Structure 1
C-alpha cells in the first residue's frame, strides 16, 4: 500500500472525529424545554374549547383535542410559553393539531424576559417569518441563527391550512442560563479598586450586557493615577467610548470621543458590548457589529486602578448627560480582564464600595408600546377610558412616539355636530408636530411645535383643550416650541383615532387627509387617564387594526451604514436612502463610479480597475491549477516509487542465482534486467512480459 493510501483513512478518520465532536458540542444546549412544563406555563389569546387549550400544545402529544386552537383563526392570535426563568434557546419546532386538518404554514417568533416588551426574532437577511408545517403530523424544526436568552416565548400565526384552522403543538430547545445581574436607579453605582495595583497594561478587555429605557447615561468608567481614563457612555441611544487624559487633552473638558457604535439601544432589550484594547488600537463590538479604531498618541498605555460601574461620580460636576450622569437600567456579567465585578459586589468584597440603591436583580418598569406598522394601522378609543370621574369639557391627550418618517397622523377626532361640526388633526409634517382645527365656515386654525422629530428617538406630544384655550407641546416644552391660541369654540370629542382611520364601511366617522403614522407609541393618556394597551389587545376597550401591541418594531437601517465611499444614510420606516452627492459614486449604496475622476476620466479608471481585477482572478486560477498539478504529480510519483520498491523486494532465497521467484512463477532473469538497464541508458524503451502482463521500462 502506498503512502497516500495509508494517509487517506487517517485523514478521513480525523475529519469524522472532529465533525462528531463539533456536533456533540452543538448538542450540549439542545434539551427539550417545553415537554415537562405544567399547564399554567401556557397562555393564549383565546381557545376554541377547553380541550383546545394552550396546555395541550406540546410536541407529539395527543391529550385533549391534540393541540391548541384559538376561537377564531386570524393574525391577532398568539400562544405563549413561560419557561420558568431566563433560558438559552437554540431551536424551535412546530407541529399541527393531532388528527386534524389544522396547522400553521408560517408564523412569527417573539421573546421576552418579563412577559412584556416583546422582541421579534429575525432569521438571515432580516426575514421575520418562519416556515411552518404542511400537515398535522410532521415536525418542522428551525435552528436559531444566534441563541436567544429569554424566559417567555410567544408565537404569532401568520398563515395556516386554508382548508382548516389554526392548530399548533410546539417545542423549544436549549439549556439553562446563569448570569450575574445588577440594576441601577440612575443615582447609584459601585466602585471597584484593584488591590494590589496592577502593572501598566497594553492589553485590556471589557465585556458586559445592558438594558435600559434611557437613551443617555454612563455605564462604567475606568481610571488610573496618570489621569488616563476610559468611559462607556450612552448618548441618544448610541454607545460611545470616551478617553480622557486629564487637563492636557485637546478638548476643553478633557474628553476624546474615540468611537461610536450601535443605535436604538434604549429599547429595554439586552445588548452585548465588548471592548478590546491592544497596543495602539481598540476594537468595540456592539451586538455583533465591530469597529476598529486607532488610539491617538498618549492614550495607548493604560494603568487603571479603579472602575466605577453604573456611573461616574465626577460626571455631574462636568455637566454630563442624564439626571446625574449615571446609568438607569440593568447590567449583566461585567468583566474587566476576566474579573467578574458584579459577582464581587454581590459578595460584598472589600475592594468594592456600593453607593445608593444597587439591586442584584433586574428591576425594570413596564412600558407597553404599540407599533403602527402600515397605512392600515389604527387605534380607536372612546373618550372615557378610565371610568369615573367623568371627563371635563374639552380634551387632553398625551403620548410618546418614535419614528423615522417625516409625516404621519398621530391623532384625529370630530368636533360636536351641535357646534357646527368639524375635525381636529394632530400630525407630523416635515418632521415637525402640527395641529389643524377645521370648522366649516371658518378659517382653519393651525399650530406647530418641535423639529427633527423623525430621528428615531422617543418624543412626547401633548394636546390640551380646556375652557376655550388650546395648546400643543413637544418634549414638555410649551415655550418657543409650542403654539397657543384661544379659539372661540370648545374642542371636544366622543371618540379618538390614533395613527390612522379604519377602512371605509366600518361605520366610524373618521377622515385623514395626511399619511398614516408608522412608528411606535407608548404612555398614552386620555384626560389624564393612562390607557392600558393590554386591555385594548383583549378587546376590552376600543378597537384596532394592523397594530402590534406590547412591542416596538422600529429598526435602524442605517446602523451599520450600508452607504459606501462616505455616502450619507437617511431612512424611513420601510427603507433607507444613500446620499452620494459628496462623492464620485452613485447607485443605491454609492458603489458605482458615476463621474470622471481627474484627467483620466471615470470610465478609464473603471476599465483599469476591472482589468486589474480580471488579472488578479486569472493569476489566482493559475496558482490553483499549478498547485493541483503538483499535488497530482507528487501522488503519482509516490505511488510509482512504492510499487517499484515492492517489485524489487526478494521473496525467495534463490535470488542470488540470478532468478527472482514469486509464488513459484518465473518472471525475468538478471541479464534481461541488465539489458533493459543498458537500453535505458541509450534512451531506448523496452517491454518485458511477466506473468502479470507487460511492464514498461524507461
Structure 2
C-alpha cells in the first residue's frame, strides 16, 4: 500500500494512541481497532454517543480511510462520520461532495470498505463517530479501520492584526507567465488580507477574506489602447471563519486562473490582452508594511494562523524562520510566533430531531443573565427556555424568520412578546445576551451596546435552576420545558449563565448538565448553496440539512432550475397547439447555457 502519500498510518502507533468513549469489554478495547486485526472495537451498550479516537502524534496529510467490522462477528458499522483536527477538543467533519458528512460503512464483518477522499486534509487527531450499525442476529457497533496518508511538514506563523511580512523578489521584479501559489489559513475573522503585490504597470495580485469568503483580485495590466479594465475578481468558499484549516491554491497559466479552497475550484479568463504578471519589489503576507500602496483599498490585516505559504516554490514562512534577508518585517514589530495560537472555543452541534442541552443555574436570584453564540440556516427553532422559580412563569428565546423572539409568560398577565435582530439565520456566528430583573428585560444582539432592546413591563424575576438550549427533552423533562417551536438545528458556543462560562468538558463527561443528540467540540454547519447548485441564475436558499432552488423569473423550472419552461422552436409551439402567429419566447438549447429569447413566429396555415 506504500506509495506517494498512501502509507497506512496506524501500524506504527502504540496502543495508547487509540482512545474511545467506552468499550464493550477488554477484548473490544480501542487499541484492537486495527484493520485485519483479530478483534475490533465495540462500545458499551449504554454508551449513547460512542466514538473512537486516534492520536497520530504529528501532523499528517490524510487521503483515505478503510473500515471492516469486528472479526468473525455480526458487528459492523453501516454509516459514520469522520472528524479531524489539530487538537483532541476541536473538530471539523470531513465533507463529501454535495455537503454530506455521512460516509457509507460495511455490510459484513470481513470485506473492506474504502473511501478515497476527494480532497486531502491535514490532521493530528481523528475521531470516528458511528451513526448506524448492523442490528440483525444480535449485531452491535464493531469496527476495524486504517487511515492512509503521509507526513506533513508544517511552517506556521501567528498573526494578531498588526503582524505582517514581505518576501522581496530576488531581482526586485517578478515577471511570470505561469504562477503556482499555495497558502493555508485558519481564523475567526470574516475579513483579512492574505496576500498582496502590485507592479508599476498596473498589475495587481490580491488575495483576501471578505465576509468569510475568499476573493482573488488579479490584473495583468491595462492598456490605454484597448479600453478594457484589466482587473478580474474571482470568489470561492464561504463560512471560512470557523477556526479550522482551509487550503488555498492559485494556479495561473497566462490569462487562465484557477482558484481552489479545500475541494471547491473556480476558474476565470483574466480581462485584457496581456498574459504576463509583472510585479515589483515584493509580495506582502498578512498585511502591507507601506500603507500608501496605490492599488490596495483600506483592508483589515489578517488575524489568525498562516501555514505553508509557497509563492512559485518559495517557502515564505520557512525563509522567515531561517531569517533569510529576502524576508522583511516592519520596524518595531513584536516577536514573531512560529506556531499557531488557537483560541479554543469548543462549539457544539445540534443535529438531531430531539436534540437538547440542559444546564443548571443559580436558583431564586433576582437577576437573570444568559449569553451565548449561535449559527444556523434555519428560520425557526428553540434557542433557550427557562422556568422561573416560585411559579412565576417562563422565558423563551426562539429563532423565527431570522430574528430572535423573546416570549415572557407569567400567571394572570398578558403574554409579553418582542423580537430583536435581523437575518440572524445567515450561517454566521451571532451573539445573544439577555438580562432580566423585575419589570425590565434587555436583549443585546451581536454585542451592539449602542442599540440594546429594552422592555419595561410589570413582571417579577426569580431565576429557576434549569436552562434548556436547542429543544425540550422528550423524556425526563425535569426542567418542565414547553414550547411550540421546532428543535434548533445549528451550532452554539461560549454559553454564559449567571455571568459564569459553561465548561463543556464537564458536560461531555456527564458531570454537569445533560444533553441528547449533540456533537460536542465541533460545528457541523455546511453551506449547500456555495457553489450555487441552482442552474441558470436560480436563487438558492437552505436549511440545516437541505436546499431549495427558487426559479422564478429565470425561464426554467425543476429542482435545480434545469428544465426550460419554453419550447425550443416555433414548430414546437405549433405542435403543442399554438396556431396563431405572434411573438414567442424560445429556448433553442432547452436546458443548455443559452438564454431564452423572443422571436416572431409565423405559424403555418395562418
Smaller-chain TM-score bracket: 0.7 to 0.9
Aligned partner of residue 317 in structure 2, secondary structure: helix
3-state SS in 2 of match to 1:367: coil
Q: 1-side partners of 2:265 and 2:74: how far apart?
A: 47
**Pairing partner for 1:367 from 332, 345, 350:** 345
Q: Does structure 1 residue 27 correspond to structure 2 residue 3?
A: yes
Distance in 1 (alpha carbons) for counterparts of 2:4 and 2:349? 37
Q: Counterparts of 1:498 and 1:350 in 2: how far apart (Å)?
A: 54
Q: Are 1:216 and 2:191 counterparts?
A: yes
The answer to whether the 8 Å contact 1:468/1:491 transfers is: no
> Aligned partners of 1:344 and 1:85: how far apart in 2?
22
Aligned residues of 1:240 and 1:257 also touching (Cα < 8 A):
no
Deviation at 1:42, TM superposition (A): 1.7
SS at 2:506's partner residue? helix
Partner residue of 1:393? 366
For each residue in 1:139-173, what CA deviation from the matched residue of structure 2 results, as whole angstroms up to 9, or x when unmatched?
A: 54444343332111111122334204333333323
Question: Matched residue pairs, number?
Answer: 572
SS in 2 for 1:105: strand
The corresponding residue for 1:55 is 31
Distance 1:244 1:99, change over 3 A: closer
The residue number in structure 2 matching 1:308 is 284
Deviation digits for residues 160-215 of structure 1, max 9, x if unmatched?
A: 34204333333323222223222212221111211312254444332212121211
**In the aligned structure 1, how far is the partner of 2:98 from the partner of 2:169?**
44
Q: TM-score, normalised by structure 2?
A: 0.85
Structure 1 residue 589 and structure 2 residue 560: aligned?
Answer: yes
The alpha-carbon distance between structure 1 residues 245 and 119, as it changes in their structure 2 partners (threshold 3 A), is: same
* Contact preservation (8 Å) 2:566, 2:587: no
The match for 2:234 among 235, 238, 259 is: 259
> 2:63 maps to which residue?
90
Q: Is the 8 A contact 2:220 2:272 kept in 1?
A: no
Which 10-residue stretch deviates more, 69-78 or 363-372? 69-78
> Does residue 184 in structure 1 map to residue 162 in structure 2?
no
Return the alpha-carbon distance in structure 1 between the equivalents of residues 568 and 509 of structure 2: 62
**What is the CA–CA distance in structure 2 between the aligned matches of 1:459 and 1:449, rounded to whole Å?**
12
Q: Secondary structure at the match of 1:464?
A: strand
Match of 1:121?
Answer: 94
Distance 1:486 1:349, change over 3 A: farther
What is the Cα deviation at residue 601 of structure 1?
Answer: 8.2
- Tell me if 1:38 matches 2:14: yes
Structure 2 residue matching 1:194: 3-state secondary structure: strand
Looking at secondary structure, tell me which structure has more strand per residue. Answer: 2
Counterparts of 1:260 and 1:124, CA distance in 2: 19
Contact kept in structure 2, 1:244 and 1:256, CA below 8 Å = yes
Q: Does 2:434 correspond to 1:456?
A: no
**Which blocks of at least 5 consecutive residues in structure 1 are unaligned?**
1-23, 385-389, 614-698
**Residue in 1 that maps onto 2:526:** 555
SS at match of 1:196: strand
Aligned twin of 2:310? 335
Residue 179 of structure 2: aligned partner? 204
> Could you say which residue in structure 1 is the equivalent of 2:216?
241
TM-score with structure 1 length normalisation?
0.74
Q: Assess if the C-alpha contact under 8 Å between 2:566 and 2:585 holds in 1.
A: no
Label 1:290 to 1:30 Cα distance change in 2 as closer, same or farther (>3 A): closer
Aligned mates of 1:468, 1:611 — CA distance in 2: 60
| Contact 1:558/1:571 (8 A) holds in 2 | yes
Equivalent in 437, 441, 447 of residue 412 of structure 2: 441
* Superposition CA RMSD, Å: 3.4
1:534 and 2:534 correspond: no
1:180 and 1:611 map into 2 onto residues whose CA distance is: 47
Correspondence list, 1:69-218, <5 A:
69-72=42-45, 74-98=47-71, 101-123=74-96, 125-136=98-109, 139-162=112-135, 163-218=138-193
Q: Which runs of 5+ in 2 are unaligned?
A: 577-583, 594-606
C-alpha change, 1:129 and 1:246, in structure 2 (3 Å) is: closer
